[in-house]
């Protein structure tokens, strides 16, 4: 059957010269069909709906077509409009209905509303290009070509325990002039930097929000520098299905969809997965004082959690809360993630303030949240990594207890806090350190080590360098009198607040960075590194750089040379993790020898072999992984011994005895200046003393026995 044989190829209605007919209710959104575009939108309480059509960028619409009532099926309005220019079209809706906030209704037909299911949003096409503030329709729904040529690409489905995640901001990664790329700050520029990512050795990038947001939201001048403060991080979604145009070199041509897909395809070719940081807990519409962009004007009561008085619940800390367990909203979230998985080949999702996704419409935490269950069992998302930030701003804290359905992993906040405290020298943490390093079996006994995303730093808080250069946050540049950002950073400045010429302090800072990277890479679970920590990136003590579009957030590529010792160490210790499956167990340890090698799968040590001091004053311990137990004994690996000493003096560690044919070799020793702080695989020097090792003050040592 050819297209023109179909009855719905021909219009039945006409309005001001525009031809249209009854549309199809599904799919929602605007879909290219033969000879036209099918529009479909839901509202449970609107009394009338009008489709508004613009020529791209025009001040006023070229047509407004009211939906005839017979085009509405249930609560869904649909219409096929003919002979539209796919590329030049911008569309929106007007919804009529009651304005009665006390009852939860906020209809206003004077506002042109963006389609929640739009695949492209026009209006912020180039990052920080000055918008027309009087635009009658600032965030414009547009169509996307969905025929990308993926060739033989496929999401990588890397086993979770084999991942090394690199948390990255698209613009921050390459915007600095030192990046030397053609299109700084874009998806395309990440593609140009793939060789760097491979050299570093990470195999998954987790992008801070790339759903369309408005960088101008809440923009204001900085009190310290006068430059404009913007929404740099982007945790404020305008539309869930559209990639941020301003992150694409081709955004001004409306080609961001192809540019992003091309990046993902190329990353996959290089063995690098792509995870998205997704923000389904709230939208950019804010509370009752915010702008109506889409959801509020389409169906306020459905999309938002409202108090009995019709105000917005604020479990997100940003003004509103998406009503995630409403069946309609739940389906939208599911449709959205399916779209990103199927159409963009996304490998996984990290859910911002994910505990909100487990709340009911009145905010009560649910024991069996339908949305989380749907995502866990969804056929299209079946191989995607699902990672929860298992808390919200409403006081729900579910680290260790997030409803997981055998699928969900968590950002392990306890891992972060324990590592930080131990690294700064807090005593009495040895037993907890051991739990965190072996995949937190005390928290994830049933779920296994891969439930734990191990991290010491992320975008939220200090960078790793600043962890060891600042005791206190320095957020004055954010314009909130240093009141924003967390106060409990568990950081230690190593003796001086901020930059210093003191070589001892600087050596100690670098050593602490290397200690942190070592602990992260020898931990069971899934390690995540913050962009730039591998080269000692600093935010000058600012621990909440959400609004800083400048060098506080831009990776300075020259640091790869100036901090070459950190980069080389990071590269080697990452390589070490990849090379040794014994560091990447898919299941928890059993603490006994179940393969008959003569050693338990893991054993714990201290200054005396086979004895670990877990007393209140202890700051040192060691552990030994038996290579014959790697991946549950399926593969053979070397013995790996890790000694950690956060005491302020060096300690002699008695080494556990090896089988007669094996010897100890040095992988890394953070107490030694580069280049002898770490060694490439195969080049590890043999230890002269095979029985004892002096682990320096505040140092970590990694050995292999082979």
Partner 1 sequence: MNVTSSTVDSIIVIEASGSIDSKTAPEFERTAMAAVQGQKEVIIDLTNVEFLSSAGLRVLLMIYRQVKAKSGKVVLVGTSEEIQDIMANTGFLSFFSTADTMQEGIDILKAA
* Distance from C-alpha of 418 to C-alpha of 307, rounded to nearest angstrom: 37
Binding residue (CB under 8 A) for partner 1 from 182, 608, 663, 691: 182
Give the position of tokens 């026009």.
122
Binding residue (CB under 8 A) for partner 1 from 262, 431, 471, 597: 262
Query: Would you say 167 and 555 are in contact if contact means Cβ atoms under 8 Å apart?
Result: no
Binding residue (CB under 8 A) for partner 1 from 168, 181, 255, 622: 255
| Cis, peptide link before residue 675, omega less than 30° from 0 | yes
**Which residue, 269 or 691, is less far from partner 1 as judged by CB?**
269
DSSP state of 633: H
Query: Can you give the C-alpha Rg of the chain in angstroms?
Result: 27
DSSP state of 536: T
Query: Would you say 328 and 44 are in contact if contact means Cβ atoms under 8 Å apart?
Result: yes
Using alpha carbons only, what angle is made at residue 692 by residues 651 and 631, rounded to the nearest 5 degrees? 100
> Per-residue x/- marks for partner 1, 542-581, CB under 8 A?
----------------------------------------
Within 8 A by CB and 6+ apart from 503, the residues are none
For position 253 contacting partner 1 by CB under 8 A, the verdict is: yes
**Which residue, 12 or 126, is less far from partner 1 as judged by CB?**
126
Binding residue (CB under 8 A) for partner 1 from 59, 83, 87, 680: 87
CB atoms closer than 10 angstroms to residue 328: 14
Question: Distances in Å between the alpha carbon of 429 and those of 89, 492, 681?
Answer: 61, 16, 31
Q: Which stretch binds partner 1 (CB under 8 A): 245-253, 339-347, 395-403, 591-599?
A: 245-253
Residue 387 C-beta-side C-alpha neighbours within 13 Å: 26
For position 249 contacting partner 1 by CB under 8 A, the verdict is: yes
Catalytic residues: 352, 389
Least Å distance, CB 253 to partner 1, is 6
Q: Which stretch binds partner 1 (CB under 8 A): 12-20, 250-258, 584-592, 663-671?
A: 250-258
For residue 631, which phi and psi values (nearest 5 degrees)? 50, 50
Least Å distance, CB 412 to partner 1, is 36
**Which residue, 260 or 526, is less far from partner 1 as judged by CB?**
260
For position 258 contacting partner 1 by CB under 8 A, the verdict is: yes
Query: What part of residues 110-149 is at the interface with partner 1 (CB under 8 A)?
Result: 145, 147-149
Q: What is the DSSP string of 427-480?
A: SS-HHHHHHHHTT-TTT-TTT-GGGEEEES--SSS--HHHHTT-SS---GGGTS
616 closest CA partner among 423, 427, 421: 427
Q: Which stretch binds partner 1 (CB under 8 A): 260-268, 415-423, 520-528, 675-683?
A: 260-268
Binding residue (CB under 8 A) for partner 1 from 37, 168, 190, 248: 248
Least Å distance, CB 4 to partner 1, is 15
Binding residue (CB under 8 A) for partner 1 from 83, 85, 199, 680: 85
**Which residue, 186 or 457, is less far from partner 1 as judged by CB?**
186
Binding residue (CB under 8 A) for partner 1 from 183, 222, 288, 482: 183
**Which residue, 242 or 314, is less far from partner 1 as judged by CB?**
242
How many residues contact partner 1, by CB under 8 A?
25
Query: What part of residues 142-181 is at the interface with partner 1 (CB under 8 A)?
Result: 145, 147-149
Burial class (CB in 10 A: 0-12, 13-18, 19+), 77: buried
**Which residue, 255 or 434, is less far from partner 1 as judged by CB?**
255
**Which residue, 85 or 504, is less far from partner 1 as judged by CB?**
85
Binding residue (CB under 8 A) for partner 1 from 106, 265, 459, 605: 265
Give the sign of the dihedral formed by CA 127, CA 129, CA 133, CA 137.
negative
* Distance from C-alpha of 53 to C-alpha of 71, rounded to nearest angstrom: 18
For residue 122, which phi and psi values (nearest 5 degrees)? -100, 155
| Cis, peptide link before residue 189, omega less than 30° from 0 | no
Q: Which stretch binds partner 1 (CB under 8 A): 79-87, 202-210, 374-382, 442-450?
A: 79-87
* Distance from C-alpha of 367 to C-alpha of 120, rounded to nearest angstrom: 36
Give the position of tokens 């991290």.
455
Query: Would you say 119 and 29 are in contact if contact means Cβ atoms under 8 Å apart?
Result: yes
Q: Which stretch binds partner 1 (CB under 8 A): 185-193, 278-286, 429-437, 488-496?
A: 185-193
Least Å distance, CB 34 to partner 1, is 13
Binding residue (CB under 8 A) for partner 1 from 35, 43, 175, 188: 188
Least Å distance, CB 194 to partner 1, is 14
**Which residue, 149 or 649, is less far from partner 1 as judged by CB?**
149
Q: Which stretch binds partner 1 (CB under 8 A): 84-92, 442-450, 490-498, 563-571?
A: 84-92
Q: Which residues bind partner 1 (CB under 8 A)?
A: 85-88, 145, 147-149, 182-183, 186-188, 248-250, 253-255, 258-259, 261-262, 265-266
């Amino acid at each position: 059957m050819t297209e023109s044989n179909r009855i719905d190829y021909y219009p039945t209605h006409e309005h001001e010269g525009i031809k249209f007919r009854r549309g199809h209710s599904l799919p929602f959104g605007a879909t290219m069909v033969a000879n036209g575009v099918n529009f479909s939108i839901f509202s449970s309480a609107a009394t009338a709906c009008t489709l508004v059509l613009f020529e791209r960028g025009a001040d006023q619409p070229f047509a407004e077509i009211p939906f005839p009532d017979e085009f509405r099926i249930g609560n869904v309005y649909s219409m096929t409009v003919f002979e539209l220019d796919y590329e030049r079209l911008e569309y929106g809706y007007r919804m009529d209905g009651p304005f009665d906030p006390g009852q939860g209704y906020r209809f206003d037909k004077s506002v042109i509303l963006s389609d929640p299911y739009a695949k492209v949003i026009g209006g912020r096409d180039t990052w920080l290009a000055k918008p027309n503030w009087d635009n009658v329709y600032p965030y414009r729904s547009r169509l996307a070509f969905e025929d990308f040529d993926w060739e033989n690409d496929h999401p990588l489905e890397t086993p979770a325990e084999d991942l090394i995640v690199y948390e990255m901001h698209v613009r921050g990664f390459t915007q600095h002039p030192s990046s030397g790329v053609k299109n700084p700050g874009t998806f395309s520029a990440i593609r140009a930097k793939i060789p760097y990512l491979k050299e570093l050795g990470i195999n998954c990038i987790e992008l801070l929000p790339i759903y369309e947001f408005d960088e101008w939201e809440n923009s204001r001048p900085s009190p310290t520098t006068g430059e404009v403060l913007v929404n740099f991080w982007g945790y404020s979604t305008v539309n869930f299905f559209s990639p941020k145009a301003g992150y694409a070199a081709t955004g001004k041509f409306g080609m961001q969809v192809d540019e992003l897909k091309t990046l993902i395809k190329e990353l996959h070719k290089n063995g690098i997965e792509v995870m998205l940081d997704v923000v389904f807990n709230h939208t950019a519409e804010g509370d009752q004082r915010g702008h109506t962009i889409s959801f509020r004007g389409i169906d306020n009561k459905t999309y938002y959690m409202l108090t009995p008085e019709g105000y917005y619940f604020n479990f997100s800390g940003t003004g509103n809360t998406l009503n995630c367990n409403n069946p309609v909203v739940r389906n939208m979230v599911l449709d959205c993630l399916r779209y990103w998985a199927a159409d963009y080949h996304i490998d996984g999702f990290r859910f911002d303030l994910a505990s909100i996704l487990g709340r009911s419409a009145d905010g009560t935490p649910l024991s069996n949240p339908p949305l989380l269950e749907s995502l866990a069992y969804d056929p299209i998302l079946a191989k995607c990594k699902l990672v929860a930030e298992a808390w919200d701003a409403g006081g729900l804290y579910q680290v260790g207890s997030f409803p997981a359905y055998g699928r969900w992993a968590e950002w392990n906040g306890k891992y972060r806090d324990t590592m930080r405290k131990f690294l700064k020298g807090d005593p009495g943490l040895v037993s907890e350190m051991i739990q965190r390093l072996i995949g937190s079996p005390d928290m994830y006994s049933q779920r296994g080590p891969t439930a734990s995303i191990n991290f010491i730093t992320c975008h939220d808080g200090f960078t790793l360098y600043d962890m060891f250069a600042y005791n206190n946050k320095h957020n004055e540049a954010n314009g909130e009198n240093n009141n924003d950002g967390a106060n409990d950073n568990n950081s230690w400045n190593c003796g001086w607040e901020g930059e210093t010429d003191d070589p001892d302090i600087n050596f100690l800072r670098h050593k602490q960075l290397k200690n942190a990277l070592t602990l992260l890479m020898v931990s069971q679970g899934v390690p995540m590194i913050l962009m730039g920590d591998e080269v000692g990136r600093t935010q000058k003590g600012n621990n909440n750089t959400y609004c800083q579009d400048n060098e506080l957030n831009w990776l300075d590529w020259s640091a790869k040379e100036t901090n070459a010792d950190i980069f080389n160490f990071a590269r080697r210790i990452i390589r070490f993790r990849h090379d040794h499956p014994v560091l990447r167990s898919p299941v928890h340890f059993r603490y006994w020898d179940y393969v008959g090698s003569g050693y338990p799968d893991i054993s714990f040590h201290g200054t005396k072999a086979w004895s670990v001091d877990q007393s209140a004053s202890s700051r040192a311990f060691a552990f030994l992984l038996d290579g014959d137990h790697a991946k549950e004994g399926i593969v053979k690996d070397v013995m790996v011994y890790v000694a950690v000493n956060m005491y302020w003096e060096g300690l002699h560690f008695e080494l556990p005895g090896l089988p007669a044919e094996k010897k100890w070799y040095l992988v890394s020793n953070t107490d030694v200046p580069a280049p002898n702080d770490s060694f490439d695989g195969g080049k590890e020097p043999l230890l002269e003393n095979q029985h004892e090792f002096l682990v320096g003050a505040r140092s970590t040592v990694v050995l292999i026995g082979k």
